Structure 1
Amino acid sequence: MRSKIVTADEAIALIRDGDTLASTGFVQTGFAEALLSALERRFVATGSPRNLTLFAAAGQGDGKTLGLNHLGHAGLLRRVVAGHWGRMPKVAQLALDNRIQAYNLPQGIICQLFRDLAAGKPGSFSKVGLHTFVDPRYGGSRINAATTKDIVSLVTVDDEEWLFYKVGEVNVAFIRGTTSDTFGNITMEREALTLNNLAMAMAAKNSNGIVIAQVERIAERSGLPPRQVKIPGILVDCVVVAEPAQHMQTLATQYNAAYAGEFRVPAASVVSTPLSERKIIARRTAFELPPNGIINLGVGMPEGVAAVANEERISHLLTLTVESGLIGGIPSSGGNFGTGVNMDAVIDENQQFDFYDGGGLDMACLGMAECDAAGNVNVSRFGGRLTGAGGFINISQNARLVVFVGTFTGKGLEIEVTDGKLRIVQEGGQRKFVKQVEQITFNGQYAYDRGKPVFYITERCVFRRVRGGLALIEVAPGIDVDRDILPNMDFEPIIGEYAVMDARIFNANPMGLEAELLNLSLPERVIYDPERNILFLNFEGMHVRVEEDVKAIWDICELRCRAAGKPVGVIINYDRFRINQDMYDAYAEMDRYFLANYFSQITRYATSAFLRAKLGEAFSARSIAPHVFERREEAQAFLAGRNGDAGQPG
């Protein structure tokens, strides 16, 4: 059989007018730059091929001229279905000018559509995108007036709403690897990511299309270890050897062996950075990190959370992931975003989104461009810019806990921290908390209805999505609500009792988060007074995130109760106590166990009216006496009335 090795121009000559092209890449990592350059070169010289349809999941390009920007010519494209548009502004401008049909689907959905097309399915069912701009009731993912055909439909299965995404077809797939033999078997040993290469190749081949691969070197037939072959030659029609300048490992790096997983790099030295607004936000967000949790950190400001985790020496307690397919290790940033070092594993992009969509993430930390009174967030289209959702919808809808981060205002904000207090030196010229977001990328009401905890963290305050909308729950020391917050919002949030943000955030010293996350202070929080036979549980400021937290409380309480040797009365301080929604049942089961085996009576107090109502509602729903009083004295009096004179705590 003849060799499949051809030049880029010979391969591109196979593409016909009206074909549907699938392209893989993440920023510029894994992108077939030589193939797209050749496609542009042919079109500029001949005016052909014309009216192509493009399918692209992640953002692919440098935001200027590279990547999918090669396709930004009038007449070359007829229709584009993409997850992220911000990296290809030349193509995005065609969409904004109504010169092409244009859709913005969730990145994970496009990844999964490649796989479904390969399997001969008509499309994908998913809840991802419900109640966002992707939902047909909110626009159906269409970007402009030139786009009239629906590719997303709302369906009902077993009385539940789902979205059905039509699969389309793929006539040409551009894939990329490291080494190909003459038959087209392809390995990826020097690639940082595997992305959707295999799924796309199968989709094109099973649609009677062609697969064109870009590689950096050639081996003899049958000269590659079969277990290293990621795309078998039976799927590949042409192989193009690219010049090094068009086969960079990432946008910013020609080649880094650590990105390819050849070795593990030494841990970087911990360098403390100044208390900027970004670091303040990252520090406050770090308090939400679930110990031993699986986490996705978005691009931009969320990346600072990883730096804080490193500074606090808690990185070993977390598993960071990136939607590109990375699991574990240290994610890269900037032009290397999507790659990483010291990974535990690198899986295909569509498989990563399977994991995300199924609820595998314990926490997601994502940016926000706009937020409104309903807690809706927009990151996809604002201020005349078409950015696209990327993986934002998949991630935000399915993580167990979602934290949105961003400065309170944008464009010119300046702050300073003096003596542990925050001062706004110059207010930003752009408001982020608006009356109504331009486009709904995240639906706050839908998240609340599903019981998802959602926080919105800025440098000066923290909001939470509660019944009725956005509630102010924390304010930074030195910040005045009437001076620094309300005048810079287009709506008034729900304001009741709110706490002061933890003072440690505004001190340059490490915050001691390891003890916080691992509940190492629990023995000091659970005290038994034998003279009065009372167990005092000081849960002030505590956050119950995962089952391990419940078990830690369970174990220390049982130890104290066994030492007492008789039923004890219990008083619990719930000031600033927080518990994740999915932990209420486990927590209630613990209460039932101790009431049945160790506690003679239990009572609780919290100064926050909101927290009293929330705890009371949760306990009542689980058939537990909801005695949550406002003051310690009331809780003691209640316990004294049930048990005799309970005395005063020390």
Structure 2
Amino acid sequence: MSKRISAKEAASLIGDGSVVTVSSSSGLGCPDAVLAAIGERFEATGHPRGLTTLHPIAAGDMYGIRGIDHLARPGLLKRTICGSYPSGPSTAEPPAIWRMIGENAVEAYNIPSGILFDMHREAAAGRPGVFTKVGLDTFVDPRRHGCAMNDNPGEPVVRVERFGGEEWLFFPAIRPNVAVIRATSADERGNLTFEHEGAFLGALEQAMAAHNNGGVVIAQVKREVKSGTQSPQDVRVPGILVDHVVVAPDQMQTTQTPYDPAISGEIFHPLSHFETAEWGMQKVIARRVATELADGMAVNIGFGISANVPRILLEEGLHGAVTWVIEQGAVGGLPLLDFAFGCSSNAEAIMPSPHLFTYFQAGGFDASLLSFLEIGQDGSVNVSRLSARPHVTAGAGGFVDITSHAKRIVFSGLFKAGARVGVSDGRVVIEKEGKVNKLVREVEHVSFSGPRASAAGRDILYVTERCVMCLTPAGIEVTEIAPGIDLQRDVLAHADFPLLVSPNLKVSDAALYRPEPMGLALPRKVTPGLALQPKAEARAA
């Protein structure tokens, strides 16, 4: 017997005061038809009221998939806990959810995505919650913001605990009444396959959390198929967990992308299909970041300038030398840009996002390439909140999970906000100086803790168009300047704190600043213990 119902019927199943967990990453995997129906029901009847919603990565965007904005109505939404929020250009009207956050009309939290997935796992297993060191000394820590995004936080979501003689953050499990997830196909028994999806995200964990706590699981899919026609190895969420299925044939694969079979791994595009980065300052910075890599590395990348680094390697004939891993689940291939960020073409594997966060949280990868909004005197970085431009920032997503134990991080960005900087004849030219310093005494929101990283001896680099800096126990040190840049006039004078200068300060390679390929060659990754193998073999002989 089919489990199919309409989106309107699905919305009618959600009671006042429910805790609703939604699986999506911006537009990727967003069950937008069901969310729209919930908003429409509230407009017509005033119900459901007082919802708490959980969004482990994000729900919706500003480019056609409204997601959480369908629910961002006073009275409907009481409390929302997200890995990140919709964001967009400063010139655009802010998303409705950001207006509610700014007006303190909703209790709003930003819990790191991996921890939110962990909380679902603990709720599904009937355990009390999550102990973790991820987020200590960041905005996640209750001694700072405790994940709160405004002045209407409600009941705290995290506390500090002592366990085994060590300090931990504890996040109590939250038990959802409803899970709204998405897949491509459902059979009549509710078995779900994801053949056109760009990621599995955490649909299984969210479904189990709701089901095991007596809740309802609603799956939005593209199509219904006959039972017995799906391969059991392709079923990612079994029908025993799914109560109802809503068919929405027009669901987008991801933001502004109806369907690309290379995103879902059904075909591989030839490398000639992909465009390389346009010439300009962001490409120059991405090139400099690329020189920090080694052949054989597994490297995480985030949104922003660093997302262009895979295209640098492609242009240099080095595609495949580095395996890219992104939090939505793709491993290998070529990560996509702009609206499709979070997906990869030609991926080697697509992992469930919660499993990939386990890999990230313990620092199982070689390096991470990320962006910054602000850099503090102590090396801390803010990517998650600027009160002057709140809806341009989205929260941290998986940033805190990824950076808490990363061995090596390369942050990249423009040195100063609002500056107009160009490249001419192999030299950097500051055409108009910016008005806002990004190197500040204290960052507004600590997304990454410089002191914790320094104490752990982690390798932290900051790459800008003007200079390269590193984190040392004594502070941030300038190690390299771009050709055409004056150290005092263009760098030291535009930081709100004294920068250290390396006694071995050098000028960056001139090849970075010319549009032709730079002939990049990556060294081989050094594998720990490999150098000892011949001696061990000799002893055995």
Q: TM-score if structure 2 supplies the norm length? A: 0.93
The alpha-carbon deviation at position 274 of structure 1 amounts to 5.8
Q: How far is the alpha carbon of 1:550 from its aligned partner?
A: 8.5
Asked if the contact 2:262–2:269 (Cα under 8 Å) also holds between the matched residues in 1, the reply is yes
Once the 2 structures are TM-superposed, how far is the Cα of residue 63 of structure 1 from its aligned partner? Answer: 2.5
Q: Which residue of 2 aligns with 1:361?
A: 365
The one-letter code matched in structure 2 to 1:48 is H
Q: In structure 2, how many angstroms separate the alpha carbons of the residues matched to 1:67 and 1:268?
A: 34
Aligned partners of 2:213 and 2:529: how far apart in 1?
51
Q: How far is 1:186 from its partner?
A: 1.3
* Residue 220 in structure 1 maps to residue 219 in structure 2: no
The match for 1:385 among 386, 390, 396 is 390
2:11 maps to what in 1?
12
- SS across alignment from 1:398: coil
1:290 and 1:363 in contact (8 A); partners too: no
TM-score, length-scaled by structure 1: 0.78
Give, in angstroms, the shift of residue 223 of structure 1: 3.4
- Structure-1 separation of matches of 2:419 and 2:429: 15
Contact 1:460 1:476 in 2 (8 A): yes
Aligned equivalents of 2:207 and 2:350: distance in 1?
Answer: 19
Aligned equivalents of 1:178 and 1:436: distance in 2? 46
Secondary structure, in 3 states, of the residue corresponding to 1:263? coil
Moved more, 217-226 or 286-295: 217-226
Cα gap change, 1:415 to 1:549, in 2 (>3 Å): farther
- 1:50-72 C-alpha deviation (Å, 9 max, x unpaired): 00001001122122661111111
Correspondence 1:453 to 2:459? yes
Whichever residue aligns with residue 80 of structure 2, its letter is V
CA contact (8 A) 1:152 1:166 kept: yes
Matched, 1:546 2:521: no
**Aligned with 1:395 (options 396, 402, 418):** 402
The correspondence of residues 339-378 of structure 1 with structure 2, limited to 5 A, is: 339-378=343-382
Distance 1:222 1:6 in 2: 20
Residues 294-373 of structure 1: pairs in structure 2 closer than 5 A: 294-373=298-377
The amino acid that maps onto 2:480 is E
1:36-47, aligned counterparts within 5 Å? 36-47=35-46
1:210 to 216, 220, 223: 216
Which residue pairs with 1:23 in the alignment? 22
How far did 1:144 drift?
2.2
Moved over 4 A (4+): 269-275, 548-551
Asked if the contact 1:125/1:164 (under 8 Å) is kept, the reply is yes
Instruction: Give the superposition deviation at 1:416.
Output: 2.3
Q: C-alpha separation between the residues in 2 aligned to 1:143 and 1:219?
A: 42
Match of 1:510 among 511, 517, 531: 517
Give a deviation string over 1:117-147, Cα, whole Å, max 9, x none: 1111111111110110101111211222221
Query: Structure 1, residues 231-279: CA drift from partner, whole Å, max 9, x if none?
Result: 11111111111131xx111111111111111111111268665642111
Distance change >3 Å, CA 351–CA 335, structure 1 → 2: same
The one-character-per-residue Cα deviations of 1:415-467 (angstroms, maximum 9, x if unpaired) are 2232x322212222332112211111111111000110000100110111101
1:56 corresponds to 2:62: no
Q: Distance in 2 between matches of 1:549 and 1:425?
A: 50
Displacement of 1:548: 7.3
Which residue, out of 149, 160, 163, partners 2:166? 160
Distance of 1:308 and 1:266 partners within structure 2: 17
CA distance in 2 between partners of 1:269 and 1:505 (Å):
25
Aligned counterparts, 1:488-527, within 5 A: 488-497=494-503, 498-514=505-521, 516-518=522-524
The answer on whether the counterparts of 1:275 and 1:506 sit within 8 Å (CA) in structure 2 is no
Deviates more, 1:155-164 or 1:317-326: 155-164
Q: Which range is displaced more, 206-215 or 152-161?
A: 152-161
* Structure 2 CA distance for aligned equivalents of residues 279 and 372 of structure 1: 25
Equivalent residues of 2:333, 2:345 under 8 A apart = yes
What's the counterpart of residue 623 of structure 1? Answer: none
The aligned amino acid for 1:467 is P
- Structure 2 counterpart of 1:128: 134
Take 1:215 and 1:273, find their aligned partners in 2: how far apart are those partners?
35
Give the superposition deviation at 1:412.
Answer: 4.2
Could you report, residue by residue, the CA deviation over 1:270-303 in whole angstroms, capped at 9, with x for unpaired residues?
Answer: 8665642111111111111132011111112111
Aligned to 1:411: 418
Distance 1:269 1:332, change over 3 A: closer
Question: 1:123 touches 1:164 (CA, 8 Å); kept in 2?
Answer: yes
Q: How does 1:107-118 map to 2 (within 5 A)?
A: 107-118=113-124
Quick one: structure 1 residues 274 and 40, their matched pair in 2 at CA, closer, same or farther if it must change by over 3 Å? closer
Retained in 2: the 8 A contact 1:27–1:337? no
Corresponding residue to 1:137 among 138, 143, 167:
143
Unaligned runs of 5+ in 2: 88-93, 536-541
Please list, as runs of the form range in 1=range in 2, the aligned pairs for 1:421-436 lying within 5 A after superposition.
421-436=427-442
User: CA distance change for structure 1 residues 271 and 377 in 2, over 3 Å: closer, same or farther?
Assistant: same
1:15 shift after superposition: 0.5
Pick from 287, 292, 303 the counterpart of residue 283 of structure 1: 287
Counterpart residue identity of residue 237, structure 2: I
Deviation at 1:384?
4.0
| Contact 1:361 1:398 survives alignment (8 Å) | no
- The whole-number CA distance in structure 1 between the counterparts of 2:312 and 2:77 is 44
What secondary structure does 2:37 align onto?
A: helix
* Aligned pair partner of 2:258 in 247, 254, 258: 254
What is the match of residue 90 of structure 2? none
- What is the letter of the counterpart of residue 22 of structure 1? T
Distance 2:224 2:308 in 1: 41
Counterpart amino acid of 1:285?
Answer: V
User: Partner letter of residue 191 of structure 1?
Assistant: E
Distance in 1, Cα, partners of 2:338 & 2:112: 22
Determine the C-alpha separation between the residues in 2 that align with 1:273 and 1:154: 44
- The SS at the match of 1:513 is coil
Match of 2:101 in 1: 95
Q: Provide the rounded CA distance (Å) in 1 between the counterparts of 2:225 and 2:528.
A: 51
2:153 is the counterpart of 1:173? no
CA contact 1:95–1:102 (8 Å) conserved in 2: yes
Alignment of 1:177-196 (within 5 A): 177-196=183-202
Taking only aligned residues, the RMSD between alpha carbons, in angstroms, comes to 2.1
SS at match of 1:517: coil
Q: The residue matched to 2:439 in structure 1 has which SS?
A: coil
Cα 1:366–1:118, aligned 2, differ >3 Å: closer, same or farther? Answer: same
The alignment partner of 2:305 has SS state of coil
Shift of residue 549, structure 1, vs aligned partner: 11
Give the superposition deviation at 1:365: 0.6
Q: Is the 8 A contact 2:10 2:218 kept in 1?
A: yes
The code of the aligned residue for 1:232 comes to P
> Aligned letter for 1:352?
L
Distance of 1:134 and 1:490 partners within structure 2: 25
1:382-413 Cα shifts (integer Å, max 9, x gaps): 12415211111111122210011001112242
Which one-letter code corresponds to 1:36 in the other structure? L
| Structure 1 gaps, min length 5 | 519-544, 559-588, 590-650
On the 8 A contact 1:123/1:166 being kept in 2, the answer is yes
Tell me the CA shift for residue 213 of structure 1.
Answer: 0.7
Query: Higher helix share goes to which structure?
Result: 1
Distance in structure 2 (CA, Å) of the matches to 1:178 and 1:272: 31
CA distance in 1, matches of 2:529, 2:462: 23
| Distance verdict in 2 for CA 1:60–1:271, change over 3 Å | closer
CA contact (8 A) 1:415 1:426 kept: no
Aligned amino acid, residue 23 of structure 1: V
Which residue number corresponds to residue 613 of structure 1?
Answer: none
The residue matched to 1:130 in structure 2 has which SS?
coil
Bigger CA radius of gyration: 1
Q: Which residue of 2 aligns with 1:82?
A: 82
